Amino acid sequence: MDKLDKPLTKNIQPDRAFATLADYRKTGGYQGLRKAITELRPKEVQQWVKDAGLRGRGGAGFSTGLKWSLVPMGNNGAADAHQTRYLVANADEMEPGAFKDRLLLEQDPHQLLEGMIIAAYAIQANIAYIFMRGEYHLAARRVENALQEARTEGYLGKHILDSDFNLEIYLHTSAGRYICGEETALINALEGKRANPRAKPPFTVVSGLWGKPTVVNNVETLCNIPHILQNGVEWYRGLGRGADTGTKLFGASGRLKHPGLWELPMGTPIREIIEEYAGGMRAGYNLRGFLPGGASTEFLLPEHLDVLMDYDAVAKAGSRFGTGTMIILDDKTCPVRMVLNIEEFFAQESCGWCTPCRDGLPWTVTLLRDIIAGRGRIEDLDTLSGLTRMMSPGNTFCALAPGAMEPLQSALKFFREDFERYILGKIAVVEEDQ
């Protein structure tokens, strides 16, 4: 593929430590910013991004341009204090199976900064934060360093590129939790509060950080922005192979020959990712199923291999695009135990705010452990599906618990006999490990 077809990773080379400012500039870095600031008005930038069809890469797939356009811009009659606006880059990547943002943060930090500056310009925010999970030490160092460089070069601070646009970006490293990645919980965390999510409405674009209009965007989403500005809407739309536009970092992990991460056009068939890029299954293992978008998405089966990795296509197949990083279930891994591991994660990471999640996930874990330990009863399977119904979208306060139910619910559907085998005593009970 041509370099231009891999805008996000074009500076990332296996043999290089990471893209310096010079490297970044060499491939056109900060030209998108120049174009935005010198040639376009904020509303026009929003329109470009909307027209480009960019959808949020944080998991929900909401149109980025549309989100920006919901920020109250002019004097909308609200009190003065409400004229402050914030942009936040969501670098809290913590969903099991997702490992895409770390690459972008570590290998090409200026790309994120340029995306943020353009985004901040588009919504006229003068302060932006990067909310990064505490474990990403290397990324934090590189981003902090890039921030220094950007300040020195006049990409940040007052009168950016001699315009009258001012922006400061601060790096906030968290010590937090998976839930801190949920955008409203993230805002509470940034404010120094417990990271329970907030109710929506009001949406963050109306009342976010310290009650001010705030846009939260995923790192990968923001990394797309410079390229849209630099190369144009038409070019960007042309990158997708299916209904969606642009490229995407797709990943695959599990017992594959070459697990990894690849920038590919949106709409790349799943088969291509698994079989060509990841080289298929390791010798001695067969594909039993996969979670196409990370741990909070429904299982798909080998029969779904020809589904395109597009938001709507994956949804139609019965799962979710999520973060676009898939987890492979092989035929030697017990799906029940795999689901237990996933539910343990979600139960532990529940923020404890709403009842179904706080008390329903631990019960889910208890039931799965009982089943695996040979203490299960056949009616427990009904209880489990009852729990997936209890925690379906809208029933809980945020999307964490519904996400947690997706692998379980699909496993109950596709791998029911694996559950039953434990309960009916058809397999030797493995030592309980808790």
Partner 1 sequence: MITIEIDGVHYQVKTETSLLSACLSLGLDLPYFCWHPALGSVGACRQCAVIQYKDVEDKRGRLVMACMTPVADDMRISIDAEQAKQFRAENIELLMTNHPHDCPVCEEGGECHLQDMTVMTGHTVRRYRGQKRTHKNQYLGPFINHEMNRCIACYRCVRFYDDYAGGSDLQALGISNNVYFGRFNDGALENEFSGNLVEVCPTGVFTDKTFSAHYARKWDLQTAPSVCVHCGLGCNIAPGERYGELRRVINRYNGEVNGYFLCDRGRFGYGFVNSPERILKPLINGQSEIESAAAEQHFRDLLKSDQPVIGIGSPRASLEANFALRTLVGEEHFFLGLDNTEHDMLDAIDSILHNGGIHSPSLREVEQSDAVLILGEDVTNSAPRLALSLRQAVRNAVFDLAETLHIPSWQDAAVRDLGKNHRSPLFIAGVCTTRLDDAAVRCYRGSPDDIARLGFAIACHLDNQAPEPADLGDVERALAATIADSLKTAKRPLIVSGTSCASLAVIQAAFNVAKALPSKDRQLTFTVPECNSMGLVIIGGGRLQQAFERVREGLADTVVILENDLYRRAQDQEVDAFLHSAAHVVAIDCLNNKTTEQAELLLSAATFAESEGTLLSNEGRAQRYFPVYPPPEHVRASWQWLSAAAEGLKWRHFDALTAACAETFPELEAMTRAAPDASFRIRGMKIPRQPHRYSGRTAMLANIKVSEPQQPLDPETPFAFSMEGATAKVQSAMEPVIWAPGWNSNQAINKFQEGIGGHLQGGDYGVRVFEAAGAGDWFNTIPQVFEPEQGLWLIVLLPHIFGSEELSLRSPPVAERTLAACAMLNPSDAVTLAVASGDLIDIRNLNGKTMASLPVRLEPSLPAGLLGITAGLPETRQISQADRVTLVKTGNSGEQS
Partner 2 sequence: MKEQTEKSSFEGLSPAEIREINAEISEYEDKMAVSTEALKIIQKHRRWVSDECLVAVAELLELSPAHLEGVATFDNLIYRKPVGKTVIHYCNSVTCWMLGSDQVRERLCRHLNVEPGEMSADGEYTVLPIVCLGACDHAPVVMVGDELRLDITEDVVDEILGR
Ligand X SMILES: Cc1cc2nc3c(=O)[nH]c(=O)nc-3n(C[C@H](O)[C@H](O)[C@H](O)COP(=O)(O)O)c2cc1C
Buried b (16+ CB within 10 A) or exposed e, 58-68: bbebeebbebb
- Per the omega criterion (within 30 degrees of 0), is the bond before 202 cis? yes
Q: Which of 120, 143, 79 is nearest to 214 (CA)?
A: 120
Of 128, 190, 295, 354, the residue at the interface with ligand SF4 (CB under 6 A) is 354
Of 34, 82, 172, 282, the residue at the interface with partner 1 (CB under 8 A) is 82
Question: CA separation (Å) from 189 to 197, 396, 426?
Answer: 9, 20, 47
Which positions from 68 to 97 touch partner 2 by CB under 8 A, shown as an x/- string?
-------------------------xxxxx
Q: Residue 307 carries which side chain, given as an amino acid letter? A: V
The verdict on 253 binding partner 2 (CB under 8 A) reads yes
Which positions from 144 to 183 touch ligand X by CB under 6 A, shown as an x/- string?
----------------------------------xx-xxx
Question: Which one of the spans 9-17, 92-100, 270-278, 414-422 is the region binding ligand X (CB under 6 A)?
Answer: 92-100
Q: Which of 410, 413, 391 is nearest to 402 (CA)?
A: 391
The verdict on 341 binding partner 1 (CB under 8 A) reads no
In the block, tokens 């427990």 appear at: 380
With respect to partner 1, which residue has the nearer C-beta, 244 or 349? Answer: 349
Question: Which one of the spans 147-155, 239-247, 262-270, 352-360 is the region binding partner 1 (CB under 8 A)?
Answer: 352-360
Name the strand (E) or helix (H) holding 214: strand 214-218
182, 342, 173, 57 alpha-carbon torsion, rounded to 10°? -50
Report the partner that residue 207 touches, choosing among partner 2, ligand SF4, partner 1, none (CB closer than 5 to 8 A by kind).
partner 1
Q: Which residues pair with 63 in a beta bridge?
A: 55
Q: For the chain, how far is it from start to end, CA to CA, in angstroms?
A: 47
Contact of 208 with 84, CB cutoff 8 Å: no
The verdict on 158 binding partner 2 (CB under 8 A) reads no
- Which chain residues interact with partner 1 by CB under 8 A? 77-79, 81-82, 177, 194, 198-199, 201-202, 206-207, 210-211, 347-356, 358-363, 366, 370, 383, 386, 390, 394-397
Binding residues for ligand SF4, per CB under 6 A?
Answer: 179, 197, 350-354, 357-358, 396-398, 400-401
Residues in contact with partner 2 by the rule CB under 8 A: 93-99, 101-102, 134-138, 170, 172-178, 189-195, 209-210, 251-255, 259-261, 295, 325, 327, 330, 333, 338, 341-342, 345, 348-349, 351, 433
